[in-house]
């Protein structure tokens, strides 16, 4: 698992980061230290923790970092649902990101079960 960049779960996580940053750029300035910061940190945490797995030797450690990535994924989903309720972005942008997050959650859960 040393080459994390080849993992689809990591690649999707990176795509989520790009999409999340694009979405938060559309938010009002007053959200800079609120939802914008929270969303960007949660999205970056997903692929960061997946890559962290590649430096670990035990499957227990692998599982730990993948669970952190999964937790960040659920955190991000909640934040996107808040964005949706507050009407801070267009529905199609929100829906695209929700689909990506759902796919990432499924991949992470499958990956964790395999360990």
pLDDT in tens, 42-95: 999 999 999 998 888 888 999 999 999 999 999 999 999 999 999 999 999 999
Query: Which domains can be identified in the chain, with CATH numbers?
Result: 4-114 (1.20.1440.60)
In this predicted structure, the answer to whether residue 2 has a pLDDT above a threshold of 80 is no
The two tokens of residue 114 are: 């395999």
Of 18, 8, 30, which Cα lies nearest the Cα of 96? 18
In this predicted structure, the answer to whether residue 1 has a pLDDT above a threshold of 70 is no
User: Which one-letter DSSP state was computed for residue 15?
Assistant: H
> Mean pLDDT across the chain, nearest whole number?
95
pTM (2 decimals)?
0.95
Q: Residue 110: which residues within 8 A CB-CB, separation 6 or more? A: none
- Residue 57: predicted pLDDT: 82
């Amino acid at each position: 698992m040393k080459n994390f960049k080849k993992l689809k779960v990591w690649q999707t996580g990176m795509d989520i980061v790009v999409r999340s940053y694009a979405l938060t750029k559309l938010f009002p300035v007053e959200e800079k230290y609120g939802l914008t910061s929270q969303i960007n940190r949660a999205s970056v945490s997903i692929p960061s923790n997946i890559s962290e797995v590649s430096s670990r030797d035990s499957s227990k450690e692998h599982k730990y970092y993948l669970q952190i990535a999964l937790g960040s994924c659920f955190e991000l989903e909640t934040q996107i649902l808040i964005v949706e309720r507050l009407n801070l972005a267009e529905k199609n942008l929100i829906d695209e990101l929700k689909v990506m997050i759902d796919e990432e959650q499924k991949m992470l859960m499958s990956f964790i079960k395999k360990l």
